[in-house]
């Protein structure tokens, strides 16, 4: 699996993931909105850590200049 996300993209996903986690805590993690925010949190943080986004691969996008 070749990384398809650049540094700025990964940092942005971490920020969005942390923001979604805080919002989930404020909304209530066991509510429907909290559950959606929990899923967003996990997706954002996992893709940021791994450096690979399946949707980018599906559409042929790459923000990682090294592998263009």
Q: Could you tell me the residue ranges of all domains in the chain?
A: 7-67
Confidence of residue 67 (pLDDT cuts 50, 70, 90): low
pTM value is 0.88
DSSP state, residue 5: -
User: 10-19 burial string, b = 16+ CB within 10 Å, else e?
Assistant: beebeebbee
Cβ-based neighbours of 43, under 8 Å, separated by 6 or more: 17
pLDDT confidence of residue 15: 98
pLDDT tens, position by position, 12-49:
999 999 999 999 999 998 999 999 999 999 999 999 99
Residue 68 has pLDDT above 70, yes or no: no
Q: Answer for the pair 38, 17: CB distance below 8 angstroms, yes or no.
A: no
């Amino acid at each position: 699996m070749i990384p398809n996300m650049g540094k700025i993209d990964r940092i942005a996903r971490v920020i969005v993931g942390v923001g979604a986690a805080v919002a989930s805590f404020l909304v209530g993690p066991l509510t429907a909105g909290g559950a959606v925010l929990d899923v967003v949190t996990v997706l954002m943080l996992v893709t940021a850590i791994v450096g690979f986004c399946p949707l980018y691969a599906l559409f042929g996008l790459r923000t990682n200049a090294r592998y263009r």
